[in-house]
Chain A
Amino acid sequence: MPDPLDLMQGTLDMLILKAVSLGPLHGYGVLLRIQQISGEQLAIQQGSLYPALFRLEHQGHIASEWGESENKRKAKFYRLTAAGRKQLRTETTKWNRMAELIAGILNTTSEEL
């Protein structure tokens, strides 16, 4: 398995939204789920997770409430809001477009110039 890639700047918010869109999670759960759905290929900086979560909540894209975690302890669960869903859609479209563009540029061979 190739080395886990480091997350590119600015994409953490998008990934959190996606992770949470699949069901309410607490902070640790978000971390695990992102690792899981990336097939263990992505490593998230511990220090940037909670600031990102708080930032998204401040902007109104996710909402939080206290609940019970698996080990019967109190934990704060985050879920996606309607605004967050919209944001996720927008960001996904933008990302795909950007990826297409860049891939197109990088694939240019000398004959196509």
Chain B
Amino acid sequence: MTLLAKIRSYTRSLASRAKVEDDMEAELRSHIDLRAADLERTGLTSVEAHRRACIEFGTINTHKHNMRRSLGLRLFDEFQADLRFAARMLRRSPGFTTIAIASLALGIGANTIIFTLAKGVLLDRLAVPRPSELRLLSTVNGNHSPIANSWGTSEPAPGGGFSTSSFTYPVYQAMRAQNLKSPVLEDLFAFKDLGTDTLTTTMDGHAGVATGELVSGNYFQQLGVVPQLGRAIQPSDDTTGASAVAVISDGMWSRSFGRSSSVLGKVIQLNFIPVTIIGVAPAGFSGAASVQVMPDVFLPFSTQPRIAPWTMTETKPDGSLLTSKDIWWMLIMGRTRPGVSDDAARAALEVSLSQAVRSTVAVDKDMQMPRLVLSAGSRGLNEAKDSYSRPIYVLGALTGLVLLLACANLANLLLARAAARQREMSVRLALGATRSRVLRQVLTESLLLSSLGGVAGLVLGYFGRDIIPHLLSTSWSTVAVNTHFDVRIFAFTAAVAIGTGFLFGLIPAWQATRTNVSTALKDSATSTTRRSKGLLGKGLVAFQIALSSLLVVSAGLFTLTLLHLASSKLGFNPKNLLLFSIQAPAARYPAPQDVALHQRLEERLGRVPGVQAVSLTVQPLLAGGMSSRHFDPTDQPKRAGDTASAYYNNVSRNFFQTYGIPILYGRAFNTADTAHSPLVGIINQTLAKRDYPHSNPIGKTFCPGGSHDIYQIVGVAADAKYSDLRNQPPPTFYTLYDQEKEEPQMVYAIQTAQTPVAILPNLRAAIGEVDKDLPLRHIRTQIEQIDATMRQERLFATLTSAFGVLALILAAIGIYGIMAYTVARRTSEIGVRMALGAQPRQVRVMVLRESGAMAIVGVAAGIGTSIALARLVRSMLFGLTPTDPATLTGTACLLFAMAVLAAYGPARRASRIDPIQALRHE
């Protein structure tokens, strides 16, 4: 009760402060008047009475001071006074203030940028109600699993085998039916993000490109997403024979339809199939697959055979993945059911999965059923997390170190300034200020500095928030990270600013309160022979050197990684290759006419002047993409328990010649291999060693997964890196695309000495002659493609080098500052030494030795810490161990040299001290 009254009174006093002051004055005056009146009545004159009353009462200001204290205003008034004083002090030394705010702004701004990135990648959740209820289903498979063909992502699982989140449609239907009978999750719904398999759109005669997501009928209802216009996809839309409908995203509604409500009922063409738009998804809804990337259209699964058909076997003319029992492609999610634990749901679903698999796939006796895993679905598939989470943590740690370094630097600077203010502090203490009051005042100064730095850092962070995604993007594939500024980022920046204020302000504040009042007030503030160690300042500098060495070591490691990657052996010649991809929409080019189209294009492009060779592949080399299939040597004895799959690539005849991959045995593909000649394949050395270790593979036959065709091996090629630079070339086999039944999308590699800008118009004209509606997608050179795989390493090398240089500069400033201060403080001592016979050289050595001692301690601590911490970044390095001796020794030498250089100026000044001047100095 009292507390409430206090708070009320406090807020009232703050709100109408002027009135409170006036009232106080009036009340005290009226008291004096009343007393004077009483005194008058006892016979005094009015003037005398008034005088007596005033004397009795005492000074009004003392009363007011105590009254303010009763009102609880004292803290507030003192804080205001401290702030004004601090602002005045900062204004008086603009140089120091600018440097301090600039270094803080850089440190805090960098941390804000990294946090924005981290929030987008690690923290943001799907824009659906109660995302924590969502569960994503995935399987963990051993080496011999029923999953023969998959379209989607799979990762190696810890402990061997692989894990994937892809399921077949019949398995999904069986599991959903089972769940409806005895529910363990609310319901199972499915979706598939088409990703880079973009849809060709035709709207009002204009051709364009759109991304899509296939969804089940109960998807919107289960996710709880209500469209902002029209209706959502319903189970009735997801039946065979239902007309093709689509829900478009908010982004597409803005871009292509101007947010007009006439979009409902409009018919557009997707891959030349007419589709009716029935609704618009709410803003911010990015589907269930990813928080970052928003698909343009949502289509029911029933449209898949017409819009995005797929055939991998020879007996599937309808291209439907819905009836395919061997292709694992769609993702399944469900909301948790109250009362059913995750473990119970998982166990039940695993049983239902095994049943579904056994009833749909032909299972061998030594096949292992996949294990089911239920993971949190609140962030969708969260692919970004896997590839980005460790680099983000490392970057966050490094920027934190830079901020710490800036704080240490500031603490040192403030310590030096505090030494000059000793007299002021002792006067305050002598006048009766408590030590806590002085501490509060010095801390307020630091907090003001750090708040200004924080505001500047926030501005920096806002304008720079897209730097890192921008650096990681290329012209043909952007990295989509949500870098939206919201309350959490403000809160983070505020917390960091206040934290740094305390961090660097505490030490000078504590030092200020340790002033010995009597000595400080004397005229000569230091005595000649007292040798104070000044350990605090030296300790700070050693700390700075340790941090700098950490940052320089990291710069060295990441730069060397980049250099090693850039110079690693590729196994093929990337020079002079221009890449682009062409997709043949199924509506105009049903299989096998798409193969014929590519053959026509291959021949026509070869005739363009300036083109030395044209080569086609399904998978571009070193683009991070891969295709793998079971590799079944038909005339070898079955090897139990081995990985039976290999990477593969569908290529054109002159692939090996164009890319410069030598054929070691046998021959490459040639004109003798056509659609009507026997099926041929070429394997690489690694695959030959794995599956044909003791025999000659030439002439042997194999059967790729998902088909019953027998291919004959006609050649063995040298190993070439496949999807990324880090891993060794995997076992790979190549087939000829001319012998395929269908191949809608292929990547063309044009070998030419001309620049892309020069030759592209001719290429476009040539393609236009064959079909004027075919756009060239993802145009880049092979070298640009390879550089793109290194962009994360390049980003790291650049950032860490910048941090390293910044760290060196800050540490140098710190050493210079502290040595200059030490020399200035010990001027009289040095004067005595020189008067007693010390040579200038000896004085120089003395100063350098001090700085060297700090450097040795700092470098040892820093290198020790980096050895301990380097294990954490081992996975990001390439070609060197985390405790690379060259990097460590280089860093030690560099920092030691920097320490000596930085201290050389003060050392020289010390050796030039005139003893007579020095002794007179005090």
A interface residues, Cβ below 8 angstroms from B? 26-28, 46-48, 50-52, 54-55, 57-60, 66, 69-71, 73-76, 83
B58 touches A50 (CB 8 A): no
Contacts of A75 in B (CB 8 A): 27, 30, 34
Which B-chain residue is minimally distant from A58 (CB atoms)?
A: B9
If A59-B2, A74-B26 touch, whether A28 touches B35 (CB-CB below 8 Å) is yes
Q: Is B23 an interface residue (CB 8 A)?
A: yes
Residues from 264 to 296 in B contacting A, C-beta threshold 8 Å: none
Contacts of B26 in A (CB 8 A): 74, 76
A50 touches B66 (CB 8 A): yes
Contacts of A47 in B (CB 8 A): 58, 62-63, 66
Bound CA–CA A59/B69 (angstroms): 13
Residue pairs across A and B with Cβ atoms less than 8 A apart, 28 shown, are A26-B27, A26-B30, A26-B31, A26-B34, A28-B30, A47-B63, A48-B66, A50-B31, A50-B63, A51-B67, A51-B69, A57-B9, A58-B5, A58-B9, A58-B70, A58-B71, A58-B72, A59-B2, A59-B6, A60-B1, A60-B5, A60-B9, A71-B37, A73-B30, A73-B33, A76-B26, A76-B27, A76-B30
Contacts of A50 in B (CB 8 A): 27-28, 31, 63, 66-67
B34 touches A71 (CB 8 A): yes
- Min Cβ gap A8→B in Å is 19
Bound CA–CA A32/B179 (angstroms): 87
Contacts of A69 in B (CB 8 A): 30, 34
Contacts of B56 in A (CB 8 A): 46
Bound CA–CA A69/B29 (angstroms): 13
Contacts of B393 in A (CB 8 A): none
If A28-B34, A71-B34 touch, whether A46 touches B58 (CB-CB below 8 Å) is yes
List of 6 A-B pairs having minimum Cβ-Cβ separation, nearest first: A60-B5, A51-B66, A54-B70, A55-B70, A28-B34, A54-B67
Bound CA–CA A26/B26 (angstroms): 12
Q: Is B151 an interface residue (CB 8 A)?
A: no
Bound CA–CA A50/B27 (angstroms): 9
Residues from 1 to 54 in B contacting A, C-beta threshold 8 Å: 1-2, 4-6, 8-10, 23, 26-28, 30-31, 33-35, 37
Contacts of B85 in A (CB 8 A): none
Known pairs A50-B31, A58-B5, A60-B5 / 12 extra A-B pairs, C-beta < 8 Å: A51-B69, A54-B67, A54-B70, A54-B71, A58-B71, A58-B72, A59-B6, A60-B6, A69-B30, A74-B26, A76-B26, A83-B5
Bound CA–CA A61/B28 (angstroms): 21
Contacts of B72 in A (CB 8 A): 58
Q: Is B79 an interface residue (CB 8 A)?
A: no
Which A-chain residue is minimally distant from B9 (CB atoms)?
A: A58
Contacts of B63 in A (CB 8 A): 47, 50-51
Bound CA–CA A55/B9 (angstroms): 10
Q: Is B57 an interface residue (CB 8 A)?
A: yes
Bound CA–CA A76/B63 (angstroms): 16
Bound CA–CA A66/B66 (angstroms): 21
Most buried by B among A54, A73, A76, A83: A54
- Min Cβ gap B748→A in Å is 83
Which B-chain residue is minimally distant from A55 (CB atoms)?
A: B70
Bound CA–CA A69/B57 (angstroms): 19
Contacts of A76 in B (CB 8 A): 23, 26-27, 30
Bound CA–CA A28/B32 (angstroms): 8
Which A-chain residue is minimally distant from B37 (CB atoms)?
A: A71
Bound CA–CA A59/B31 (angstroms): 23
Q: Mark B53-86, 1 if CB is under 8 A from A, else 0.
A: 0001110001100110111100000000000000
Which B-chain residue is minimally distant from A71 (CB atoms)?
A: B37
Contacts of B10 in A (CB 8 A): 58
From the candidates B4, B6, B31, B62, name the one contacting A28 in the complex (CB within 8 A): B31
Contacts of A59 in B (CB 8 A): 2, 5-6
- Min Cβ gap B1→A in Å is 6
Contacts of A26 in B (CB 8 A): 27, 30-31, 34
Bound CA–CA A83/B5 (angstroms): 10
If A51-B69, A51-B70 touch, whether A27 touches B31 (CB-CB below 8 Å) is yes
Bound CA–CA A47/B31 (angstroms): 12
Which A-chain residue is minimally distant from B65 (CB atoms)?
A: A51
- Min Cβ gap A64→B in Å is 9
Which B-chain residue is minimally distant from A81 (CB atoms)?
A: B5
Bound CA–CA A52/B67 (angstroms): 8
Contacts of A46 in B (CB 8 A): 56-58
Bound CA–CA A25/B108 (angstroms): 58
Bound CA–CA A48/B67 (angstroms): 9
Which B-chain residue is minimally distant from A75 (CB atoms)?
A: B30
- Min Cβ gap B7→A in Å is 10
- Min Cβ gap B22→A in Å is 11
A71 touches B33 (CB 8 A): yes
Which A-chain residue is minimally distant from B2 (CB atoms)?
A: A59
Bound CA–CA A58/B72 (angstroms): 8
Most buried by A among B34, B37, B67: B34
Which A-chain residue is minimally distant from B13 (CB atoms)?
A: A58
- Min Cβ gap B11→A in Å is 12
- Min Cβ gap B58→A in Å is 6
Bound CA–CA A51/B721 (angstroms): 85
Contacts of B70 in A (CB 8 A): 51-52, 54-55, 58
A74 touches B30 (CB 8 A): yes
- Min Cβ gap A73→B in Å is 6
Bound CA–CA A48/B58 (angstroms): 11
Contacts of B58 in A (CB 8 A): 46-47
Bound CA–CA A81/B5 (angstroms): 12
Bound CA–CA A55/B67 (angstroms): 8
Bound CA–CA A71/B37 (angstroms): 8
Contacts of A74 in B (CB 8 A): 26, 30
Bound CA–CA A57/B56 (angstroms): 24
Contacts of B34 in A (CB 8 A): 26, 28, 69-71, 73, 75
- Min Cβ gap A56→B in Å is 8
- Min Cβ gap B575→A in Å is 83
Contacts of B23 in A (CB 8 A): 66, 76
Which B-chain residue is minimally distant from A51 (CB atoms)?
A: B66
- Min Cβ gap A106→B in Å is 34
- Min Cβ gap A68→B in Å is 10
Bound CA–CA A69/B5 (angstroms): 27
Bound CA–CA A58/B73 (angstroms): 11
Contacts of B9 in A (CB 8 A): 57-58, 60
Contacts of A51 in B (CB 8 A): 63, 66-67, 69-70
- Min Cβ gap B15→A in Å is 15
Bound CA–CA A58/B35 (angstroms): 26
- Min Cβ gap B595→A in Å is 90
Bound CA–CA A83/B67 (angstroms): 21
Bound CA–CA A58/B8 (angstroms): 8
Contacts of B33 in A (CB 8 A): 71, 73
Contacts of B28 in A (CB 8 A): 50
Residues from 768 to 797 in B contacting A, C-beta threshold 8 Å: none
Contacts of A52 in B (CB 8 A): 70
Q: Mark B161-181, 1 if CB is under 8 A from A, else 0.
A: 000000000000000000000
Contacts of A70 in B (CB 8 A): 34
A58 touches B66 (CB 8 A): no
Bound CA–CA A73/B69 (angstroms): 27
A60 touches B27 (CB 8 A): no
